[in-house]
Chains A and B, each alone.
Chain A
Amino acid sequence: MNISGIAIAVVLATFPSAIPIWLAALGETVDQASGVLDLGVEGIMLMGAIAAFVVDYFYHSALIAFIVAGLVGLAFSAVHAFISITLNGDQVVSGTALWFIGWGLSGVIYAAYFGLAITPPSVPTIGSINIPVLTSLPIVGKVLFGESPLFYISILITIALWSIMFRTQFGLNLRSVGENPLVAEVMGVSPVIYRYVSVLFGGFMAGLAGAYLTVGLTGSFYFDMTAGMGFIAVALVYFGKWNPWRVSVGAVIFGLVYALSAELESIYTSVPYQFFSMWPYIATLLIILAVGKSAHAPDALTMPYVRE
């Protein structure tokens, strides 16, 4: 394959690889901006993935599959919200517990419906939306105007979130809750309500991200198929400095890393595949290193708000 062929293959695979991390990271951005760290994303994504897969398999509706996955994510994050906001529990422990529950339960649900079959059943993936005329543009046409619906949804959510977080009173309140909940409360902004809304939104987005993995991308469910994507999404929030735009850029960079390592793996078969497979994880470490100390987290991140 020539260089331009490789480049086109990589570019075409970039957005599909980016979308799950992108959606999850956008949700986590809001989560963290309000001062709650949700490490359960990985588990919630897995729950979204299995929920969407089961719904689509039995009811043949991708739309309902996505909605159900989002709601399952929301329900899961409600547990995290209750423990970390209402009970003032440790957010790290609670998030880790949710990660474990989602990790195990997704596999259990899969086995309950489909047994421990060797060949996994599959559902048709949702395909892509081709915007007429624009799709036929050279090079960028297919990449920008022939993507999965979730690509356009991700962009819309990015714009919406940025506008809400940085251009509305609601967004200002939300961020003030993440920086200093005591001051926010004195100003008449309820940290509890803002944090609940943020965590539930984050869960919903993680559920969608998981649904995209099964119904949108692969058409199948595999045990622990996220393989760390949820945590990479959390890392991207740091990279994006709690700004939806920067988070989106990070997600696309990651899509590129995934696409590139998959493509190179298929070209350089003489190099052991493990060295390509470990790339996204090393890239995450490098990205965190690159952000360095410049990432200023919301002051009250992971701090429970205890009213005196």
Chain B
Amino acid sequence: MNYIKGIQIVFFIIIGLLVSSLSFLMFHISPLNGLASLIDSGFGSSIALLETLKVTTPLLIMAVGLSVPFTAKFWNIGGQGQLIIGEIAATATGLALSPYLPPPLVITASMGAAFVGGAAWAMPPTIMKIKFGANEIITTLMMNFVAVYLLDYLLIGPMEGSQAKLVHAPASNPIPASDMLPKLVSTVGLSAGIIIALALAGLFYFILNYTNFGYELRVIGESRNAAKYAGIKADRRILESMAISGGIAGIAGMVLVFGTTQILIPQFFSDISTAYGYVGIPVALIASLNPLAIIASSFFLAGILNGAYIMEALYSVPIDVVITIYGTIMLFSMIGVIGDVFKALRRWIK
């Protein structure tokens, strides 16, 4: 049954891809050519594959983190804010400790700070939900905007880098090269972050499927009442799942700075290329929240994102097209998840 469902989802994802490729028509590109070019740019060569793996890293980490509260049907849309706070905490910690500690300790401490920062940022919406029943989708999203402006302020204020000050472009000081995550492939700058990402996916596959915690989250997601009768402390589990989710989102931010960008720059809401917190949502959802399937979906969507950069350069198709594609895929994958879609349709026609 699982495999049949998997095939059904993949089938609808392909339909979603085809439907969204119609948007290429607006740029006088035939949809299939556009799609071929997109996929070729994302997956077509070894360089493209390595670049895609680079984008996969934060995306995979983020989506694994999101899948934890999503399993309990707690919708954490605040991954982006938690990622930003993680970046801030990691960068500040890294820059502060770098002169005094050896690189492995700096990296470990920064990662710990990122986890704590991201988890802390996830707490206000979670507590508001538990105490007052506030809709978490709205509150987590609002926290994203606050984080965006906070980062923006820090980069022209307390965290402004000395070089950035000279050129009037907001950015932090760079993390010293020796404190960066080790590079696996130095030509494209693929860092060891991908190993962290894969390890997290494996760990959470185990946790969600083979532990009591994962089981309880699933029961909560199925029915709050059932959870209550089963004696599950739903509020407590939700709080834990959000601390984990926010913390992992923070780690995604840390890996982004220590693995790729080296400096912290502002991240505006309209800039899709850095919006891993948002892109992580379709990545987790189209994989039906299964961390092993998320490995595949994050690689796939990272390739599309990567391809879209090249499409923008080649044909001036804006990078926004990628969000349309994600949305459409999400919509169709969902139709695939609804097992009895054809039954539902028949009932409707009747």
Which residues of A are at the interface with B, using a C-beta cutoff of 8 A?
Answer: 39, 43, 79, 83, 86-90, 92-94, 96-112, 115-116, 222-224, 227-228, 231-232, 234-235, 238, 272, 274-275, 277-278, 281-282, 284-285, 288-289, 291-293, 295
Nearest B-chain residue to A223, judged by Cβ? B270
B146 touches A281 (CB 8 A): yes
B124, B141, B156, B157: which has the most chain A beta carbons within 10 Å? B141
Contact with A along B132-164 (1 / 0, CB 8 A): 111101110111011001101100110000000
Q: Which residues from A are CB-within-8-Å of B153?
A: 272, 274-275
Q: Which residues from A are CB-within-8-Å of B338?
A: 87-89
Alpha-carbon gap, A235 to B132, bound state (A): 14
Q: Which residues from A are CB-within-8-Å of B344?
A: 86-88
Q: Which residues from B are CB-within-8-Å of A232?
A: 138
Closest-CB distance, B348 to chain A (whole angstroms): 5
A224 and B270 contact, Cβ closer than 8 Å, known pairs A112-B26, A231-B137, A288-B128 = yes
Alpha-carbon gap, A232 to B138, bound state (A): 7
Nearest B-chain residue to A228, judged by Cβ? B145
B37 within 8 A of A: no
Alpha-carbon gap, A15 to B133, bound state (A): 30
What 3 A-B pairs are tightest by C-beta distance, nearest first?
A100-B327, A104-B323, A107-B320
B285 touches A288 (CB 8 A): no
B152 touches A98 (CB 8 A): no
Ordered by A's residue number, 5 sampled pairs between the chains whose C-beta atoms are within 8 Å are A104-B325, A223-B270, A238-B134, A285-B124, A291-B134
* Complex partner residue of A108 from B26, B132, B149, CB under 8 angstroms: B26
**Stretch of B54-62, B206-214, B226-234, B328-336 that contacts chain A:** B328-336
Alpha-carbon gap, A109 to B337, bound state (A): 30
* Complex partner residue of B285 from A93, A102, A106, A278, CB under 8 angstroms: A93
A116 touches B137 (CB 8 A): no
A111 and B331 contact, Cβ closer than 8 Å, known pairs A87-B341, A104-B323, A104-B325 = no
B325 touches A289 (CB 8 A): no
Closest-CB distance, A114 to chain B (whole angstroms): 11
Nearest B-chain residue to A301, judged by Cβ? B135
B335 touches A89 (CB 8 A): yes
A83 touches B142 (CB 8 A): no
B142 touches A284 (CB 8 A): yes
Q: Which residues from B are CB-within-8-Å of A293?
A: 132-133
Closest-CB distance, A32 to chain B (whole angstroms): 11
B111 within 8 A of A: no
Q: Which residues from B are CB-within-8-Å of A88?
A: 338, 344
B33 within 8 A of A: no
Q: Which residues from B are CB-within-8-Å of A79?
A: 331
Main secondary structure of the interface of A (DSSP, over half): helix
Which residues of B are at the interface with A, using a C-beta cutoff of 8 A?
Answer: 23, 26-27, 73, 75, 77, 124, 128, 132-135, 137-139, 141-143, 145-146, 149-150, 152-153, 156-157, 269-270, 272, 278, 281-282, 285, 316-318, 320-328, 330-331, 334-335, 337-338, 341, 344-345, 348
Alpha-carbon gap, A83 to B336, bound state (A): 11
Closest-CB distance, B297 to chain A (whole angstroms): 14
A292 touches B132 (CB 8 A): yes
Closest-CB distance, B330 to chain A (whole angstroms): 4
A288 touches B320 (CB 8 A): no
A231 and B318 contact, Cβ closer than 8 Å, known pairs A87-B344, A88-B344, A94-B331 = no
B142 touches A116 (CB 8 A): no
A101 touches B328 (CB 8 A): yes
B128 touches A103 (CB 8 A): no
* Complex partner residue of A104 from B139, B326, B341, B345, CB under 8 angstroms: B326
B134, B153, B338, B345: which has the most chain A beta carbons within 10 Å? B134
Q: Which residues from B are CB-within-8-Å of A94?
A: 331, 334
Q: Which residues from A are CB-within-8-Å of B321?
A: 104, 108
Q: Which residues from A are CB-within-8-Å of B23?
A: 105, 108
B132 touches A285 (CB 8 A): no
Alpha-carbon gap, A96 to B338, bound state (A): 16
Alpha-carbon gap, A234 to B139, bound state (A): 11
A103 touches B145 (CB 8 A): no
A100 touches B149 (CB 8 A): no
* Complex partner residue of B150 from A99, A107, A116, A278, CB under 8 angstroms: A278
B152 touches A285 (CB 8 A): no
A107 touches B326 (CB 8 A): no
B348 touches A104 (CB 8 A): no
